Amino acid sequence: MGQIPAVGHFRPYLPRGRDLSLIETLGLAALHRCDPERAHGLSLTALRSGLVPLPGVVTSPRLATDLAGMALPNPVGLAAGFDKNAVALDPLMRSGFGFLEVGAATPRPQPGNPKPRLFRLSEDRAAINRFGFNNEGACAISARLALRPKGPVPVGLNLGANKDSADRAADFGVVLATCGPHIDFATVNVSSPNTEKLRDLQGRAALAALLAGVMEVRAGLARPVPVFLKIAPDLSEGELEDVAGVALESGISGIIATNTTLSRDGLASPHRDQAGGLSGAPLFEKSTRVLARLSALTEGRLPLIGVGGISSPEQAWEKIRAGATAVQVYTAMVYEGISLAARIARGMDVIAAREGFTTLAGAVGTGRDRWL
């Protein structure tokens, strides 16, 4: 297996031209001359315009994955936050991902936190954001989800809560009731650091009550969908044990590990002290250790999705070996482009064949102990 890059050893931003099309290479260079949030919006516009070459669905017998009953063409998903308002579903479904997660959506539209609220940390191959669940609201997002093209790539929604809500725990169920008929899975997001006191909902009693409410709404859907829980990487051992216990008791379908971190250890960028959640390369080791610990705590009874710092097939493979059934990427696309998903999926296929696995499922958890 290829060497996994150590945190802090990444070069400042430079597109890997040999891996990218000329259009993508030039596009990335142009986007990095823009304000980060403006660049994000332009990237969505470029996708929707058809200017970006797309690989289509990437799959093989080795890559085909069952995730909580969903048939994925490959296990490389798009993490929530890239397409918050579900405006680019068609091109994203043709971008090589095995599944997509849009949102986060809140019951009512909200503008989020004041700008600037997104920062590139190019020296660290990372980003810091403090968006604060900016989105157009569940009704607008639901309408777009209802019109999405049908295909082999499942589409899920990240559920959020309004900042000024009188009952944030109830907001998750409201969004699920509104959008549930048009999605393939839902994620309960209590781990964003950018909504005050939201992470308090990860405590055992609060989390159990919140998930009970969401599962009650799910039971009332004409087509109940898998429900995942997305957790923070900054939980203590005791908090992780509580999360694992509540997850197993609640009947949810799996856990996504992890969201962004509040840690700033070892960063070189001048933006390192900005408030918000840190994502990207520096999160890889921390999130993978949390993933492996959850795998041990749940004893394989819940599928896990590994997120945090993935920018290569080798790192995605390491997440699988640490206990993940599937993975998600986002921040690395800022530096590697939209073609990253297809390159990771194809690379994982090569690694699995080389390591003697006929399916990726056979590799899940085989390297967990190195992270414990």
Catalytic residues, which ones? 192
Q: How many residues are present in the chain?
A: 372
| Phi-psi label, residue 43: left if phi above 0, alpha if psi -120 to 50, beta otherwise | alpha
H-helix or E-strand spanning residue 48 = helix 36-49
Of the candidates 293, 294, 320, which has an alpha carbon nearest to the alpha carbon of residue 306? 320
DSSP calls for 92-158 = HHTTT-SEEEEEEE-SS-B--SPSP-EEEEGGGTEEEE---S-BS-HHHHHHHHHTPPPSSS-EEEE
Q: What is the CA 138 to chain-centroid distance, rounded?
A: 19
In the sheet that holds 118-121, the strands lie side by side as 118-121, 126-129, 277-280
**Nearest alpha-carbon partner for 110 in 136, 149, 91:** 136
Say if strands 326-329 and 304-307 run parallel, antiparallel, or are unpaired: parallel
* 62 exposure class (CB count in 10 Å sphere: 0-12, 13-18, 19+): buried
Q: Which helix (H) or strand (E) holds 306?
A: strand 304-307
Distance CA 352, CA 317 (A): 8
The Cα-based distances of 320 to 80, 151, 303, 306, 344 in angstroms read: 20, 25, 11, 8, 13
Q: One-letter amino acid identity for 70?
A: M
Q: Tell me which amino acid residue 72 is.
A: L
Is residue 288 within 8 A of residue 4, CB to CB? The reply is no
CA distances from 299 to 179, 242, 245, 252 (A): 32, 15, 11, 15
